[in-house]
Amino acid sequence: MRKILFNLSNYFQRIQLTFTDFDLEDHAECAWDYVEVKDGDESTAGLLGKFCGDSAPSTLVSTGRFLFVKLKTDYLNGETGFQATFSSLKSESQEDDDSALITEKNGQ
């Protein structure tokens, strides 16, 4: 099992994860091999999706500065796995803060 926790230092950023290549052992409930993506850190986070098979999930975006990715594989029938890229996005609250600052400056 492999685990990756994206943890941005900026509280006002979100993480965008895009799968560029995806092939895991297929199963109707993804019981054997799968990627699990959670919206937050490991223990408490809500599930954004659990994926297997050979069609790449669509782009996922966290609501905050954490995104957790877990790859689980068993001892049989491995495929090539996955590749993904990530980038950080400004959250809406950051944009609100920016506009508040601008308003404040204009008012001086």
Residue among 12, 19, 33, 40 that touches Ca ion (CB under 5 A): 33
Return the range that interacts with Ca ion (CB under 5 A); candidates 15-23, 55-63, 69-77, 96-104. 69-77
Judged by CB, which is closer to Ca ion: 1, or 46?
A: 1
Judged by CB, which is closer to Ca ion: 28, or 76?
A: 76
Pairing of strands 34-39, 60-61: unpaired
Residue among 7, 10, 77, 93 that touches Ca ion (CB under 5 A): 77
Contacts with Ca ion: how many residues (CB under 5 A)? 6
Pairing of strands 66-72, 2-7: antiparallel
Minimum separation from the CB atom of position 48 to Ca ion (A): 22
Residue 53: CB atoms within 10 A of its CB come to 17
- Sequence-separated contacts (24+) of 95-101 with Cβ below 8 Å: 97/12
User: In Å, what is the CA distance from 97 to each residue of 51, 63, 68?
Assistant: 35, 17, 26
Residues lying near Ca ion in the complex (CB under 5 A): 25, 32-33, 74, 76-77
